[in-house]
Homo-oligomer: A and B are copies of this chain.
Amino acid sequence: MTATERVSVEGHIIDSLILAKVLDTIVAAGVKHRLVDVDIGQGNADVSRAVIEITTSDEATLDALCLDLQVHGANRVSSGEAELVAADLDGVLPAGFYSTTNLPTEVRVGGRWLAVDRPEMDCALVVHTDGRAHTAPMHRVKAGDMVVVGHDGVRVTAPEKPRGQSPFEFMNSDVSSEKPKALLVNDVAARIAGAKAAGRKILAVCGPAVIHTGAGPAIAQMISGGFVDVLFAGNGFATHDMESNVLGTSLGVSVREGALTEGGHANHLRVINEVRRHGSIAAAVEAGYITGGVMYECVKLGVPFVLAGSLRDDGPLPDVITDMVTAADAMREHVDGVGVALMCATTLHAIATGNILPAGVETFCVDINQAVVTKLADRGSHQALGIVTDVGLFMGDLADRLCSAGG
């Protein structure tokens, strides 16, 4: 009941990433595949060719996959004649119409390959009796036009390799905000659960916006649920977490009732001052000054934390390591055994942590600012995965998912 097909790609398929994209598409579709023939050109000028056999559970999946592969320049090996069906209404295509790529295209009619005029994506292919073939946007098709349906008898040429050195790099959609976010929540939750099951540690790296956007309770819930094994943060995060516990505000903004302007621009200073008086966060927790929140849960459950100072700190808190070299060394002590790193709304600590993590750690970088997410990669942490979203809403959903499932 399975369906099998061979597809081939030809051109500069290695260094233009064509073969990689083709295999990536196949792997993402979760189907069986086998490289039956690979012929790699040795030098810069030589073209390469690969033939891949794919096997799917049914014909429909195979057809859909082959269509996707053609966008990257991969054609079916056994491509017969194109099937032509007349449009029955102006501006409406026959069901099953072939949808074009923007690559140079040929269509096989009457035993010959016809070059298609005007490559344009998302169009239909219309073949005329005089042997001309061209793309047609849906609205331009007239009743009676002969339109290619299905996949047979259409082949494309793989994209040209860009010539020479380039100071530009190709854009792609790696870090987009337009992804279904509920699904990302589930996936991150699954990876955290998987890492825990494998005996690996979970590292949370948090910026102060985590507290400002109301995600503090979510992190605290994850800690008490056993889903955070070590915390890296700064003076701001810890201060605002405790400020929200003691005074109900974050940088003077109420995190409970929603009034953005209360008396309170000095609230964080007062909390820092009192914790300094106690001598440490742990002492302030023991004395009953801090009664909840992220730092409280860390102290109570013995989850280790490293608070690294920064140039803009008020106070700082007594636990903050103000010497940067010492602080980075303290972070290095906790890196061993980390399986997942979750970086929330922090540029500085995310980059600093990325610098000291080995390549194998699964890293999620959650931030509303795409530039921040990209910046992490610019600094060399190539294994990081970016999620452009609102940390205040995302972490709440993540904690719910983890802690209800973890029951």
Known contacts A20-B17, A43-B34, A310-B324; is-contact A393 B388 (Cβ 8 Å): no
**In the complex, given contacts A27-B165, A389-B390, what are 8 additional A-B residue pairs having Cβ atoms less than 8 angstroms apart?**
A29-B262, A68-B262, A122-B314, A166-B260, A166-B385, A167-B179, A179-B253, A390-B393
When chains A and B are docked, how far (Å) is the Cα of A327 from the Cα of B180? 30
**Closest Cβ–Cβ distance, residue A72 to chain B (whole Å):** 9
Number of copies: 4
Question: What number of A residues sit within 8 Å (CB to CB) of B?
Answer: 158
Q: Whose C-beta in chain B lies nearest to the C-beta of A313?
A: B324
Whether B41 and A35, one on each chain, are in contact in the complex, defined by CB atoms closer than 8 angstroms, is: yes
**A407 touches B (CB below 8 Å):** no
* Complex Cα–Cα for A27 and B45 (A): 11
Task: Looking at the assembled complex, report how far the CB atom of A108 sits from the nearest CB atom of chain B, in whole angstroms.
Answer: 20
Q: Is A186 an interface residue (CB 8 A)?
A: yes
Does the CB pair B359–A102 fall under 8 Å?
yes
Instruction: Provide the bound-state CA to CA distance between A374 and B255, in Å.
Output: 21
Q: Can you name the residue of chain B whose Cβ is closest to the Cβ of A367?
A: B177
Q: Which residues of B contact A384 (CB under 8 A)?
A: 171
Is A174 in contact with B174, judged by CB distance below 8 angstroms? Answer: yes
**Residue of chain B at shortest CB distance from A325:** B322
Check if A393 sits within 8 Å of B382, measured CB to CB: no
Contacts of A104 in B (CB 8 A): 358-360
Tell whether, in the assembled complex, residue B311 and residue A328 are in contact, meaning their CB atoms are under 8 Å apart.
yes
| Known contacts A122-B269, A122-B314, A360 near B260 by CB under 8 Å | no
Cα separation A310 to B97 with both chains bound (whole Å)? 24
Q: Is A143 in the interface zone, CB < 8 Å from B?
A: no
8 closest A-B pairs by beta carbon, nearest first, are A64-B263, A99-B266, A183-B258, A180-B214, A393-B393, A311-B352, A312-B352, A15-B23
Q: Does A373 contact B (CB under 8 A)?
A: yes
Chain B residues in 8 Å Cβ range of A99:
265-266, 269-270
A35 and B48 alpha carbons, distance in the complex (Å): 11
A180 and B253 in contact (CB under 8 A), knowing A118-B358, A171-B386, A174-B170?
yes
User: Among B14, B138, B172, B378, which residue has its beta carbon within 8 angstroms of that of A19?
Assistant: B14
A171–B93 Cα distance when bound, in Å, is 38
Q: List 29 A-B contacts (CB under 8 A).
A: A14-B19, A27-B165, A29-B259, A35-B42, A38-B38, A64-B263, A68-B261, A95-B270, A102-B357, A118-B335, A122-B314, A159-B382, A159-B383, A166-B187, A168-B187, A168-B387, A169-B175, A171-B373, A171-B377, A171-B385, A172-B174, A172-B377, A175-B374, A178-B209, A180-B214, A180-B392, A186-B258, A311-B328, A393-B397
Contact check, B370 vs A371: say whether CB atoms are below 8 A apart.
yes
Q: Which residues of B contact A3 (CB under 8 A)?
A: none
